[in-house]
């Protein structure tokens, strides 16, 4: 598909452009260093930055979560600023440019909203999203998010392990995979006019991947409900896989016997594999995956960092793929 070969690569990489806010902060830091001494200024800056990182933005309805005790659920990496998390997104239903979702997603109506849970399960049900939110206690999970395009973020999500839902619906012995389907409404989603993908957007996990405690059904971020551009009112977050595996604005969760036809695998099977585990040793067909750029980090001094195997979650999830050829099952 010619579009896939050409999209975005004649443009500057957005993650390499210093946001004006970051530049102004750097300039202020230099002023502090000149007047108060470099050591004192850096200390003040770090303290202020730490407080600001964990402050609730106050833009949407609050959605607090208790600190998670799931192994690996909280990284100590510096959080990505809220403005970058909500302003730099892949959500093709609203457009293929990174700024399109923030500009267009105001069209999305997140209430009323239902999620059909069906397929090879003993207790199929259509859940109202507000009922679903109360199914388990909310937790805060600070996860790294790695995009297949080579950039990453660190986001404080709010939600609970998908396994909480899976246990309640009682999968049968025929359930080997879980399929996730995103809303496809042309009246609300202008990106559906594009032929870049077949709609609706579909993703999938093996059942054991879906059951892993790190696999999150997220309803919020930064202590508030999800912004529309980030997948409101609920989305999947699978932190050891590339970001496109984490379906947004879900309307259907199906338990199936055969591997789901994931949208990007259908569109370009030589470039996107079903597993899509973050792996610095397996390159994308058009670029290396060995390094990444952390959005919002370092400003003028922004640098590439080594990509971690399974996005840094190897200790928690590596056993899921024991004995597998990860170059074949990419």
Summarize pLDDT for 193-252 with one digit per residue, the tens.
Answer: 999 999 999 999 999 999 999 999 999 999 999 999 999 999 999 999 999 999 999 999
pLDDT band at 10 (very low <50, low <70, confident <90, very high): very low
Q: Are strands 66-67 and 202-206 parallel, antiparallel or unpaired?
A: unpaired
Output the six-digit token pair for 322: 């024991």
Burial class for 185, CB neighbours closer than 10 Å (0-12, 13-18, 19+):
middle
Please give the residue range of the domain that contains residue 42.
19-53
Q: How far apart are CA 279 and CA 308, in angstroms?
A: 7
- Least confidently predicted of 92-101, 129-138, 297-306: 297-306
Q: Please state, rounded to an integer, the average pLDDT across all residues of the chain.
A: 87
Which CA distances in Å does 259 have to 134, 165, 185, 215? 30, 20, 25, 18
Q: Is the peptide bond before 137 cis (omega within 30 degrees of 0)?
A: no
Does residue 7 sit within a domain? Answer: no
- Asked if 156 and 76 sit in the same domain, the reply is yes
Q: How far apart are CA 11 and CA 122, in angstroms?
A: 50
Q: How far apart are CA 36 and CA 75, in angstroms?
A: 32
- Asked if 65 and 49 sit in the same domain, the reply is no
Segment 288-313 shows an average pLDDT of 90
- Asked if 42 and 164 sit in the same domain, the reply is no
State the pLDDT at residue 46.
38
Q: Which of 53, 76, 98 marks a domain boundary? A: 53
Does residue 316 sit within a domain? Answer: yes
- Least confidently predicted of 31-35, 118-122, 150-154, 186-190: 31-35
Does residue 8 sit within a domain? Answer: no
- Least confidently predicted of 82-91, 108-117, 251-260, 293-302: 293-302
Does residue 328 sit within a domain? Answer: no
The CB-based long-range contact list for 297-304 (8 Å cut-off, 24+ gap) reads: 297/78, 297/80, 299/18, 299/19, 299/22, 299/23, 299/25, 299/26, 300/18, 300/22, 300/23, 300/26, 302/15, 302/16, 302/18
pLDDT band at 126 (very low <50, low <70, confident <90, very high): very high
- The percent of residues in the chain predicted with pLDDT above 90, rounded, is 81
- Asked if 314 and 194 sit in the same domain, the reply is yes
Alpha helices in 69-217 (DSSP H): 82-87, 100-104, 129-133, 163-169, 207-211
Does residue 2 sit within a domain? Answer: no
- Asked if 47 and 162 sit in the same domain, the reply is no
Q: Report pTM.
A: 0.85
E strand intervals along 91-215: 114-119, 125-128, 139-146, 151-161, 177-182, 202-206
How many domains does one find in the chain?
2
3-state secondary structure (DSSP) of residue 94: helix
- Asked if 160 and 180 sit in the same domain, the reply is yes
Q: How far apart are CA 305 and CA 325, in angstroms?
A: 25
Segment 82-101 shows an average pLDDT of 98
Is residue 6 over pLDDT 80? no
Name the β-bridge partners of 66.
Answer: 139
Q: Which of 11, 29, 53 marks a domain boundary? A: 53
- Asked if 190 and 312 sit in the same domain, the reply is yes
Q: Which of 197, 276, 179 is nearest to 236 (CA)?
A: 179
Does residue 6 sit within a domain? Answer: no
3-state secondary structure (DSSP) of residue 33: helix
Does residue 329 sit within a domain? Answer: no
State the pLDDT at residue 303.
84
- Asked if 34 and 71 sit in the same domain, the reply is no
């Amino acid at each position: 598909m010619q579009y896939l070969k050409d999209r975005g690569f004649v443009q500057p990489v957005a993650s390499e452009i210093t946001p004006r806010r970051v530049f102004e902060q750097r300039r202020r830091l230099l002023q502090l260093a000149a007047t108060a001494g470099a050591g004192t200024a850096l200390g003040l800056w770090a303290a202020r930055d730490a407080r600001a990182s964990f402050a609730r933005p106050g833009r949407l309805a609050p959605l607090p979560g208790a600190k998670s005790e799931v192994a690996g659920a909280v990284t100590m990496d510096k959080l990505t600023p809220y403005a970058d998390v909500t302003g730099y997104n892949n959500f093709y239903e609203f457009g293929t440019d990174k700024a399109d979702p923030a500009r267009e997603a105001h069209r999305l109506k997140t209430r009323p909203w239902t999620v059909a849970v069906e397929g090879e399960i003993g207790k199929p049900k259509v859940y109202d999203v507000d009922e679903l939110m109360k199914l388990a206690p909310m937790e805060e999970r600070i996860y790294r998010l790695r995009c297949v395009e080579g950039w990453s973020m660190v986001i404080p999500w709010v939600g609970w392990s998908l396994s909480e839902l899976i246990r309640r619906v009682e999968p049968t012995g025929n359930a080997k995979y879980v399929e996730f389907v995103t809303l496809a409404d042309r009246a609300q989603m202008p990106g559906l006019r594009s032929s870049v993908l077949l709609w609706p957007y579909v993703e999938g996990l093996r059942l054991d991947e879906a059951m892993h405690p790190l696999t999150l059904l997220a309803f919020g971020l930064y202590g508030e409900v999800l912004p529309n551009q980030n997948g409101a009112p609920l989305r999947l977050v699978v932190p050891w896989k590339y970001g496109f595996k984490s379906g947004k604005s879900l309307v259907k969760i199906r338990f199936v016997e055969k591997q789901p036809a994931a949208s990007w695998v259908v569109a370009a099977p030589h470039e996107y594999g079903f597993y899509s585990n973050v792996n610095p040793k397996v390159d994308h067909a058009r670029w290396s995956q060995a390094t990444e750029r952390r959005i919002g980090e370092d400003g003028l001094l922004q640098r590439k960092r080594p990509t971690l195997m399974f996005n840094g979650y190897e200790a928690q999830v590596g056993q899921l793929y024991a004995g597998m050829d990860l170059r074949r099952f990419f």
